[in-house]
Amino acid sequence: MAKKKAEGYLSARESRRISRENRKITNAYEKQRKRKNVPENEYLTTMRDPNNAVEFDNLHTYFFTDAGTVKAVDGVSFEVPIGKTVGVVGESGCGKSVTSLSLMQLLQRPQGQVVDGAIRLNLGDKAYDVTRTPNEVLQKLRGHYVSMIFQEPMTALNPVFRIGDQINEVIELHDGEGQSAEDIKKRTIGLLEMVGIANSEGVYSMFPHELSGGMRQRVVIAMALACNPKVIIADEPTTALDVTIQAQILDLLRQLKNRINSSIMFITHDLGVIAEMADYVVVMYAGRVVERGTAADIFHHPAHPYTIGLMASKPVVGKKIDKLYSIPGKVPNPINMPNYCYFKDRCEMCVDGCDGEYPCMISLSETHQVSCYRYYDGKEEK
Ligand SMILES: Nc1ncnc2c1ncn2[C@@H]1O[C@H](COP(=O)(O)OP(=O)(O)OP(=O)(O)O)[C@@H](O)[C@H]1O
Ligand SMILES: [Mg+2]
């Protein structure tokens, strides 16, 4: 008698078949990407609103793995206005990092691919769709226009090079034309001081393993800010830091934002940080945006049951409770998503329509949108 196979079990044969198919798909994407001399009109685009620095438009980023296709980001749309901070929140694994890596075009290739949608980046005089922009052009945009503070500082730093050399290299590559080695060194030391490293001369010639976790994090921030980028992606930049340093780093980001009017996409689990930093908030769940609005919309009038749960699970100063609320259940398997609302199985506020297909975005006000059947009321706007 054949043994009962566990759910999600894949035979070696099945896995080989998937892997062969994946190769076909990813090879096609890679071939497209590796073309030389791509004409500019293929990746030039126009912003929907010239006041936006970045526009994510129906972004789909998939990972073609041997176990199946992981739909890490599955139709994400939101914008980052110039000079504003957008906070992105959501449960671990909901696609926050993959969304930002798609903007940087630093996905793990060949399995990670943007399969649909656009990411428009505003350079002032023109706009690029980074999902179609060839690598040689992107290289010039990264660091200069967009830069990223990575979630894990140890993987962002090279363990065999000294700190100073690693930051110098960033400046030389992106902004160093006509500058002498001394000038660049001076600028690097200045950056280390700016992020609050006391012994900046000493740290300049240290290796990453000689620094504490918080110092490494600050070095990574110095590197990201080295060329005064227009868009800064901060992926959990303060999670490894204690509260006082965290406050300093947040201040630093705010100052920089005001000084050069850059925009920040701030990814965090910490709703307190969001409340302090963000002008707008995007709530993601299982690869999709479930709610977006101004910080006041989200904090004072959370609409999606997931957001309401998030708000209820954060501690409030001065309010004594025995146990914090936790959202029951877990996120669905990203390889096999249901065809109804992804949050339905965990939702405690379901209504009649919830058995239907995935709910589309409904506008609650000019700034506030939510994808939930509770707000349909017969109207089906987008
Ligand atoms: N290289 C990869 N190969 C396959 N799947 C991946 C890869 N990178 C990410 N994923 C999948 O994409 C999904 C989204 O991951 P992502 O890193 O964006 O989560 P996140 O929201 O940043 O979570 P966290 O808050 O824990 O950092 C996850 O299901 C993850 O397993
Ligand atoms: Mg992440």
Give CA separation, 125 vs 39, 53, 225, in Å.
18, 12, 22
> Residue 370: what pLDDT?
95
Q: Compute, in angstroms, the gap from residue 94 CA to the centroid of ligand 1.
A: 7
Q: Which one has a higher pLDDT value, 2 or 127? A: 127
Residues 6+ apart with CB under 8 A from 153: 208, 213, 216, 217, 219, 220, 240
Measured from the CA of 334, which atom of ligand 1 is nearest? 29
Residue 291 has pLDDT above 60, yes or no: yes
Average of per-residue pLDDT across 266-272: 87
99 Cβ partners below 8 Å, 6+ apart?
A: 56, 59, 61, 73, 76, 88, 284
Q: What is the mean pLDDT of residues 222-227?
A: 88
**Interval 349-370 mean pLDDT:** 90
Q: What is the mean pLDDT of residues 4-15?
A: 77
- Buried b or exposed e, range 199-235, using 16+ CB within 10 angstroms: ebeebbeeebeebeebbbbbbbbbbbbbbebbbbbbb
Q: Which of 94, 235, 274 to mutate to test the pocket of ligand 1 (most atoms within 8 A of CB)?
A: 94
Q: Give the residue ranges of DSSP H helices in the chain.
A: 12-33, 96-104, 135-141, 153-156, 163-175, 181-194, 200-204, 213-225, 243-260, 271-277, 295-300, 305-312
Alpha carbon of 96 to ligand 1 centroid (Å): 8
Shortest CA distance to 170 belongs to which of 152, 187, 154?
A: 187
1 — pLDDT class (breaks 50, 70, 90)? very low
Q: Is the CB of 95 inside a 6 Å radius of any atom of ligand 1?
A: yes
pLDDT of residue 240: 66
**How many angstroms separate the alpha carbon of residue 89 from the centre of ligand 2?**
10
* pLDDT tens column, 347-357: 888 888 888 89
Lowest mean pLDDT among 80-89, 124-133, 284-293, 346-355: 346-355
The residue whose CA has the least distance to atom 10 of ligand 1 is 72
Chain centroid offset of residue 256 CA: 19
CA 217 from centroid of its chain's CA atoms? 17
Least Cα distance to 112 among 56, 64, 58 occurs for 64
To test ligand 1's pocket by mutation, which of 70, 106, 108, 111 has the most ligand atoms within 8 angstroms of CB? 70
In this prediction, residues 359-369 reach a mean pLDDT of: 93
Residue owning the nearest CA to atom 27 of ligand 1:
92
363 to 40, 191, 367, 380: CA distances (angstroms)? 36, 43, 8, 10
Does pLDDT of 358 surpass 50?
yes
Token representation of residue 317: 């100063």
Peptide bond into 39 cis (omega under 30): no
Going by CA atoms, what residue is nearest to atom 4 of ligand 1?
63
213-217, 286-290, 297-301: range with lowest mean pLDDT: 213-217
Residue 376 pLDDT: 83
Q: For residue 332, give both structure tokens.
A: 């669905």
Ligand closest to the CA atom of residue 98: 1
What spacing in Å lies between the alpha carbon of 283 and ligand 1's midpoint? 16
Write out pLDDT tens, residues 190-200.
999 988 888 99
Closest C-alpha to 285, from 113, 95, 112, 102: 95
* Cβ of 110 below 6 Å from ligand 1: no
How far apart are alpha carbons 363 and 288 in whole angstroms? 16
Do 188 and 167 contact (CB within 8 A), yes or no? yes
Give, in degrees to the nearest 5, the angle at Cα 303 between 298 and 309: 85
Q: Give pLDDT, residue 9.
A: 77
Tell me the C-alpha distance between 89 and 100, whole Å: 13
Question: Tens of pLDDT along 312-348?
Answer: 877 776 767 677 677 777 778 878 888 899 998 888 8
Amino acid occupying residue 56: F
CA of 72 to the centre of ligand 1 (A): 6
CA distances from 95 to 321, 359, 362 (A): 32, 19, 22
Mean pLDDT of the 277-288 span: 94
- Give CA–CA dist 176/166, Å, rounded: 14
Residue type, 87: G
Is the pLDDT at 378 greater than 80? The verdict is no
Bridge partner residues of 68 (DSSP): 65
User: CA nearest 75: which of 53, 54, 95, 89?
Assistant: 95
**Confidence at residue 167, expressed as pLDDT on a 0 to 100 scale:** 93
Q: Give me the residues paired with residue 290 across strands.
A: none
- Give the closest residue to 288 by CA, choosing from 67, 58, 101: 58
